[in-house]
Structure formats: structure tokens, C-alpha cells
Chains A and B, each alone.
Chain A
Amino acid sequence: AQSVTQLDSQVPVFEEAPVELRCNYSSSVSVYLFWYVQYPNQGLQLLLKYLSGSTLVKGINGFEAEFNKSQTSFHLRKPSVHISDTAEYFCAGTRYQGAQKLVFGQGTRLTINP
């Protein structure tokens, strides 16, 4: 079965510092991967997605992620974070293009300290 693992439940960083949120997936077939952000009391917003092609994916709000097939990873990075980036981040994957079941990681709480 496909699974998605987020290696850190909480990541505290200082404002303007770089950050990496780690995500590993398991799958023996083609996979589509996503990062979603959830601000307090809101729904999930798509940050970026990997479908195929270039392994470096750029998303909204200055985030990017790199798909690494050999390491089965899809880590999320931002070179300089802001207070407004404080949120819950979810990595997710699916093998299907039709009606899909997205498999979510457990989430990483990113806290930005001034």
C-alpha cells in the first residue's frame, strides 16, 4: 500500500531563516505528490505538486520541492521564512488520475519565531 511519511511533527525556525520539511513516500509505481498548507481554522491550500517532468517544482509563497526518486523523497524548502508561514503542512500522494484517494502524511507544524 502506498504511504506518505512526514519525518518531523514540529519544526521551529527563526524568521528569515531557511527551512526544509521532510516527506518520504513509498510506492512501486508512478506517483503524484503534493504539498498542502493549512492555516488555523481554514481548509487546505495547494502549495505545489509533482506530476512528471522536472524534479524541482516551484510553488506559491516562495516554496519549492524536489522529487527524488532514488531516495523516495519530496522535501519542501523555503530559503527565508516569514511569520505568516506559521501553519500546518501536509505532504500527500496518489497513484490515480481519476477519482482519487489522496494519502496524507501526519503533518508538520511549522512555527516561525521572531
Chain B
Amino acid sequence: DTEVTQTPKHLVMGMTNKKSLKCEQHMGHRAMYWYKQKAKKPPELMFVYSYEKLSINESVPSRFSPECPNSSLLNLHLHALQPEDSALYLCASSHPGVPGYTFGSGTRLTVV
């Protein structure tokens, strides 16, 4: 298995909703990442987990809450989002000592 799987592929949520994005990999990678990508822009790093511990939080608002329950799974919990949070959310993973990521295909999030 050489993939990073993200679900759902599309999500529409209201500003008062609570939802979660899920990311899964079975490549034995011990670092996992959440990125946010707006249209026609490069991905922006949100969070980094290393060995299931949060190692980088790029000053992301608290309405985004990451969770890494085990070495294969990464979640992003969403609550009280704003329309400007609408974007493509990308998950990625990497192997210790090997530069470079494997990206998932992303979740297209629309906040209404």
C-alpha cells in the first residue's frame, strides 16, 4: 500500500456544524501532516505530527483541532468554521529519515 487515503472527498458544512476529516496511511510513515490549499495557491502547512505527537502547529485557529489516534490515522476536527475556511485540505505522510511526502487526494471543504 503506497497511498494516503482521505475521506470524505467533498464536504459541505454550515458555520455551526461539527465535522471531521480523516486521513489514513499504511506505509509505516511516522510523520503526518495537514495542509490547507486555497485556489491557485501553494499548500500551507497547518499541523505536523511526529510519532503520534503534535510537533508543529502553525498558529492555526482553535476551530481546527487535529488528532492522531495511532501511527496510521490522522483526523482534523472542525467546529464553527467560517466561509473563508473553504479550501482543499490535504493530508501527507513521510518516513523517518527519508525526505519528501506522500500526499492524499484531499478533501474539498465548503463552509456555508
- Give me the interface of A with B, judged by CB distance under 8 Å: 32, 34, 36, 41-46, 49, 51, 90, 94, 96-102, 104-107, 109
Contact = CB atoms under 8 A, between A and B. Distances in A.
Interface in B41-89: 41-43, 45, 48-50, 55-56
Contacts of B98: 97
Contacts of B48: 99-101
> Shortest 4 CB-CB distances between A and B: which pairs?
A99-B50, A104-B42, A32-B99, A99-B31
Nearest to B55: A99
B103 A45 contact: yes
A102 B105 CA distance: 17
B42 A106 contact: yes
A97 B42 contact: no
Contacts of B40: 107, 109
Nearest to A101: B45
B96 interface: yes
